Amino acid sequence: MPSIEVNSASVHFAGQSKPTLDDINLIIPDDGITVIIGPSGCGKTTLLNILAGFITPTSGTISSNGQTISAPGSDRVVVFQDDALMPWLNVAENVALGLNIAGTDKTTRQQRVTEKLQQVGLENVADKPIWALSGGMRQRVGIARALAVNSQFLLMDEPFGALDAFTREQMQELVLSLWRQHSSGFVLITHDIEEALLLATRLVLMAPYPGRILEILDLDYSQRWRQGESLRHLKADKTFVELRESLFYKLVARSPAQHEVAI
């Protein structure tokens, strides 16, 4: 099965007393939702950056479908935390950006943009300027833009961090419905334990100083949503609540006090 494979990857930035990532081993399948959670500073963004090919590990290897990753590639597209949209372009033009760069013909481009805007529920604002959108709508544009290029992997770094709880829940449902419609592997970084449990087919729990993988859990709440259970019902499920609490204590216990944070 196509996958991204991380083998014994470590990242040690100059001037840091400990590695930011230490001996990371991970397989990311192209048909699941891999969620990475861990305390601030444990190296989540650094891990996403090596998956994206923005930085190369100090030691170890990363490969996508057996090919070593040494640069960004069209098989892996990134959705950033801040929406990173072009304010001088309208919604549809922003969604078309990656397709323009890829040299996609005009007819395909228009079809793809219309389809992706429908999938994220923004078909009625295609002509609107970016500044006229809410934060949640901007993130939808960023996701539509990433999906438009039909990439094998969609990498998201805390895409909903700046959204209110209600909008965030809508975005969680959106991710699940997009996952149902696309045959892509999703990788999502979050600070939100409930979000992690709900969306992950595979949950990667990280610890800091040095940044490392503590535990990997295979979960089925996203599958259960696919089979018709509601989000609210799943979040109230007894084992879900128990898991949420145990993860909370694991993450809190691993969070360094401010004075322990290594620079």
Ligand X SMILES: Nc1ncnc2c1ncn2[C@@H]1O[C@H](COP(=O)(O)OP(=O)(O)OP(=O)(O)O)[C@@H](O)[C@H]1O
Q: How many residues at the interface with Mg ion, by CB under 5 A? A: 2
Closer residue to ligand X in complex, CB, 41/135: 41
CA 79, CA 254: separation in Å to the nearest integer? 27
Half-sphere exposure of 235 (CA within 13 A, CB side): 12
The string of DSSP codes covering 177-203 is HHHHH---EEEEEES-HHHHHHH-SEE
In the region spanning residues 84 to 143, those forming contacts with ligand X, defined by CB under 6 A, are none
Residue 178 near ligand X by CB under 6 A: no
The minimum distance between CB 44 and Mg ion, in angstroms, equals 5
Residue 42 binding target from Mg ion, ligand X, none, CB below 5 to 8 Å by type:
ligand X
In the region spanning residues 199 to 238, those forming contacts with ligand X, defined by CB under 6 A, are none
Which of 10, 45, 58, 63 touches Mg ion (CB under 5 A)?
45
My answer on whether omega of the bond before 208 falls inside 30° of 0, hence cis, is no
**Quick check: 239 and 229 in contact, CB under 8 A?**
no
Q: How far apart are the first and last CA of the chain?
A: 40
Which of 8, 25, 27, 40 touches ligand X (CB under 6 A)?
40
One-letter identity of residue 164? D
Closer residue to Mg ion in complex, CB, 21/148: 21
- Per CB under 6 A, residues contacting ligand X are 13, 16, 20, 38, 40-46
